[in-house]
Chain A
């Protein structure tokens, strides 16, 4: 049935007018203004009371999910070896061997002692020439002595130090430069969060203590991060007052009345305190990028207030006889709709970022920006009208020139009319901007270097460059080596594998050196062979290796190797040093190392896992670019949907987006041409451009629609009126935040300069586009066409289409991973591999945690394979605390039918239906998920895409590699895996090893299928080992008493059987 859109609109308007709910609402608010203000103040005070408890987290850890394997292993390195990112103090001379002089060595000794006493420095983890030992020997004796002989430092003892260091190659580059001109003091901090203060304390101490002809420099990743946090705090304290002053001045210029400054300030303070206070109340930390949040909120709350005040004063000008309350109600009744609409679209934009962002700080930033916009709206529509109604109506000098407006309004009007008169010119310029922007996107580089956040002449930046140049470097790449059993790292082949890895790493361009227990072992071997260099190798005999360490323990300090290997010789650390902290170089080094480890550590012996600052940087910065574009894309699509619904026109919705889109592209163009990196700080311009920029558009388009369609004005007349009312408000809104952000250009921090510069360009672009391009576009397309309402069905269809596109964007890239024919064929062969129809077996499970503690369980498993399904029950018999616990599953072949699972708990004496989506949960403390438990030797054909991935050698045999990628993000989440890499014995379609990656893409676990035999014609695995790389936990299934000859029936796999035991 057809209907007339216009009549419907008129009908809706008549209902609204009859009811006039907004007017009733503002009458209510102004009826009890003091109560409303009191409630608002109470809210602000309550929220603000939480601000002192706000936790700051400016570490890079914050950008990585806490369960990320790199964080886990970084903590493991900290726990086991006590190593983190240290502060480095370099004592440098100008000549060769300058450091082996009494004056410099004395300075090193004094500095070491003094630094150990500084707060937040771990006194047991300060390493320098005065703390480290030399290992030397004869054929019969081993000597472990301090590098600097004890007692007063003389020319002779300095010479001894030179000789001892020269014989210990592992110190060269790490502790002393190869030419002996400089040395390092390496100090571990206890609490990274206050590393900035520690850095300053060290800086203060070393000031003026350098011996003549020597210099002292302080740097290191820990110092850089910590100092950056302190630096940004100081800088904010300097720039924020200027920002406020700029805004106050602009507000005063806009209306020239005290209330027009005081009331918006109140809304600003309320919005910022309410948002930051709520953040503190929920325990969400204040991250480095959160610094941009107050600025956005200031921008948005100023905008809201300016619009209300403009309408208020305009009403006052038109109706000087009215009371304050009448003026407020009248002004607010006109302005509430655009305010709500712009706030909603801005909130939707932030929502899009929140749901797509990967890094926790970005997510929380968007969530609280969303909340802040809401609070600003609420305060603007409650406290502001309430407070205005209490003020006496005073004329505003700034709005005194009737419908022709003031200077600002006249300028705006002329510019808009010019755009309408020359639309081709304006549109052409916009198209050129878009093209240049697209080129800029192509040139956009993701890059970051923490030290680049400081000015070039900043001492920390100079020190960092010096250490990277003269020593091995300031960035650490750690590799954690783990053997399956205690003492495993005494095995020569394992140590040789570590040596090979070190050698590989040291040949990489940016790795200048590495240290591990292997270096000390070689030194010991050489020392006990009269310092013969030919013995600087890993001995071939395990007993000899153990003896060498035994001899050392008799002579040296038992803690000498605590930073290299754990006391049980099961876990060791290789610490390689990079002479760069530039993300692209660090990332390429990490990727190369990762590929080597995957290739060479795939067998059953020791495992290697990358950690350290380099890996952390690689992991958290890598997803920045894709995450940035994804968030932006989703956010823009959501705003587009909102605008299409708002104006009930695809064309009007699209036009609304043009200023924002062009502004963002303009930024890319600037970044691309000036070589500005896309890094976390610069990437934050996008939400600001969206948050503030879209307001300009919505206000303008909404008013054009109102004046042309509903009031019948021409576009030209509409633009004149807009210039007088909204345009003027928009100008002062733009000017105040433009100048507010502009203050950042005077910041001490280059990062903030870039951020401020980009943001002002984004704001200016969005404003100019709204002012010029929007009218030009509408003039070109004709207002009738632009605002012609779509039918409701068309709106719904458009929304569905747009949502579908967004879903497409949100889908993980893996979904589009190509499945290969070979991969699918092999997967089908695995699935079709004959398996016994009836299985009865005993499984002994041995669970071993990171500390080597074991638990043992015994269970009996029955399985029946039917035509369309298989059913199994696992019932535990030992230990006593889980005796009779049983798990039953009905697993259907048909992909659309979900599996059914039950768990029988003897304490409840009944079985419980459990969710099949629990299949990604771990089964009773093992490292197998419920899905793995069903059958570790087969993989669901419907859950994954399969692709062939070459071959891999395990234990000297080449196996075909199959890569499994979940078919959807939902399935990946259900399974808990984003990828599985399976080595398959292609001859009998039997997997031998499967490596799993978690949903964040980090290495999760490896399952090995060993002791494969053929029993009764079926390939059978007798040992299955799952090793979790995140937790260090390991589960071994030993399968025995296997019987395929019994005759089971599917029908008997019921809850009765689960209850009555097997």
Chain B
């Protein structure tokens, strides 16, 4: 029987009152959200989230930090039925209560920190990179696509059991971590509002399969040590430039589909591709402008191609470079404007180029405009993500009002457009308007 994280959370909850008051900081965030699908004409979700968080200071250097998320939804449309969580390591899975309620440990780690060194041991998020809304270097933790990319990354990023050590040497921060939690991206089940259907993410046959298709059980790496992941980062300031150099020995978080033909039956088995990723990031500021960027080079990344029975039996791999360049502008009072350009370049030729489901070069641009009013009590935000290859995109507009230090209300809409087989366009029926109220106790 594996260790159930819930037990750990409950343990700290139970012991909290016994801890000396000044050493324990407890807060609870309660968040309710209602989302209405403007295309479907149906409610998408009516959720209540309660997130108690603890910060237990054990000494000047040691502390324990934990957070649990209780989530219940009046509708069962974001993750239809009981998700099988097959891509999640058993030690990290959520506790599901019925179809619409779940409990998950979001954070549970011990931290040691002094002037020079930080160590974190436990379930945590490790975040790399400097881009907003686009993940190039932020690849350490997998992600839940329950609401595609509409949920805050902080909530959709899947925390992992890991050990991270950071040490500052000569103005440079060295970071090394080891992840022994075999968890991968989690896609919503079929029939969910944000079910992923774009050809590049699901098995796609070209020409259509002539035989019955069966899905095999997900084949995850099985050796907790041999198949674990580790990464390294050195970051700091050179001149006026922030920079980081990164290396990550990992598995791709999205599976490829291995095809097996057995007695007229096509069996697709989701498997994960081991890759090495080199990365870098940088930032600098001049006047009202900040330039940010990050890039990765992945050796042997799986390339999504159409499955051709009899031809494709193994993943098609290519070295892939990705980068994002962003410029932030703050020259207008109380206004933040940010534009980003993302490009993914496949560096090797794919053997059957006609079968490739993504172009050799893929471009995405983003624009974010945020304006604060009334000393920041009101925030207006408009975000636009556009994929220039599939000519689709996402427009998000939100208004938030900080009612007081503890309460905030947000009203907004998320609107997809473009081709049905595009990364964004696949959700063109999932447009929504949502209102969220959150209160911190």
Contacts and interface: CB of A to CB of B under 8 A. Distances in A.
Nearest to A912: B130
Interface string A899-912: 01110000111101
B328 A1055 contact: no
Given A900-B240, A1052-B115, A1056-B118, A914 B290 contact: yes
Interface in A408-424: none
Interface stretch (A15-23, A494-502, A879-887): A879-887
Interface string B283-305: 11111111010000000000000
Given A881-B406, A1055-B173, A913 B283 contact: yes
Nearest to B29: A880
B242 A1051 contact: no
Contact of A915 (B128, B287, B440): B287
B330 interface: yes
A900 B328 contact: no
A54 to B, nearest CB: 26
A805 interface: no
Given A881-B440, A1052-B116, A913 B166 contact: no
B240 A925 contact: no
Contact of A883 (B27, B127, B170, B285): B27
Interface string A1011-1050: 0000000000000000000010100000000000000110
Given A880-B27, A909-B127, A915 B168 contact: no
A921 interface: yes
A911 B408 CA distance: 23
A924 B404 CA distance: 14
A1033 B130 CA distance: 34
A291 interface: no
A1054 B375 contact: no
Contacts of B172: 1054
A757 B361 CA distance: 68
Interface in B113-153: 113, 115-116, 118, 125, 127-130, 152-153
B83 interface: no
A1057 B154 CA distance: 20
- Contact residues of A: prevailing secondary structure: mixed
Given A914-B285, A918-B330, A1061-B113, A879 B406 contact: yes
B152 A907 contact: yes
A934 to B, nearest CB: 16
Contacts of A907: 152, 154
A916 interface: yes
Given A909-B127, A925-B375, A1056-B168, A915 B154 contact: no
Interface string B375-406: 11000000000000000000000000010111
Contact of B242 (A849, A916, A1055): A1055
Interface in A867-904: 877, 879-883, 890, 897-898, 900-902
A1033 B289 CA distance: 29
Contacts of B408: 881
B235 interface: yes
B236 A1054 contact: yes
Nearest to B115: A1052
Given A898-B240, A908-B154, A918-B330, A1051 B125 contact: no
A77 B127 CA distance: 51
A855 interface: yes
Contacts of B170: 1051
Nearest to B333: A921
Interface string A843-858: 0000001000001100
Contact of B406 (A880, A890, A900): A880
A883 B27 CA distance: 10
Contact of B171 (A879, A1033, A1054): A1054
A916 B330 CA distance: 10
A433 B440 CA distance: 76
B111 interface: yes
A916 B441 CA distance: 35
Interface residues of B, number: 50
Contacts of A924: 376
A879 B408 CA distance: 13
A213 interface: no
Contact of A1051 (B25, B127, B171, B376): B171
A910 B237 contact: no
A891 B251 CA distance: 42
A1002 interface: no
B290 A1060 contact: no
Interface residues of A, number: 42
A912 B29 CA distance: 25
A917 interface: yes
Contacts of B376: 924-925
B127 A910 contact: yes
Interface in B241-277: 242
A883 B55 CA distance: 11
Contacts of B171: 1051, 1054
A1060 B375 contact: no
A921 B330 contact: yes
Contacts of A917: 285, 287-288, 330-331
Interface string B25-57: 101010000000000000000000000000000
A922 B128 CA distance: 28
Contact of B168 (A910, A1048, A1052): A1052
Given A913-B284, A915-B328, A1054-B236, A1048 B115 contact: yes
Given A880-B27, A1051-B170, A915 B115 contact: no
Contacts of A1048: 115
A830 B402 CA distance: 40
A913 B111 contact: no
Contact of A1054 (B113, B152, B168, B284): B168
Nearest to A909: B127
B168 A913 contact: no
Contacts of B237: 890, 900, 1054
Contacts of A925: 375-376
B129 to A, nearest CB: 7
A855 B235 CA distance: 36
Nearest to B328: A915
A1052 B27 CA distance: 29
B235 A1055 contact: yes
A645 to B, nearest CB: 30
B440 A880 contact: yes
Contact of B285 (A849, A916, A1033, A1060): A916
B406 A1060 contact: no
A915 B115 CA distance: 26
Interface of B: 25, 27, 29, 111, 113, 115-116, 118, 125, 127-130, 152-154, 166, 168, 170-173, 175, 235-237, 240, 242, 283-290, 292, 328, 330-331, 333, 375-376, 402, 404-406, 408, 440-441
User: 10 closest pairs, A vs B, by CB?
Assistant: A913-B283, A1056-B173, A879-B405, A880-B440, A915-B285, A909-B127, A880-B27, A1060-B118, A1052-B115, A1060-B113
21 contacts: A880-B27, A880-B406, A881-B402, A881-B408, A900-B240, A902-B242, A910-B127, A913-B242, A913-B283, A915-B285, A915-B287, A917-B285, A917-B331, A922-B375, A1033-B375, A1051-B170, A1054-B173, A1054-B236, A1055-B235, A1056-B166, A1056-B173
Given A883-B27, A910-B127, A915-B287, 7 more contacts: A877-B25, A880-B405, A880-B441, A898-B286, A913-B130, A913-B284, A1054-B235
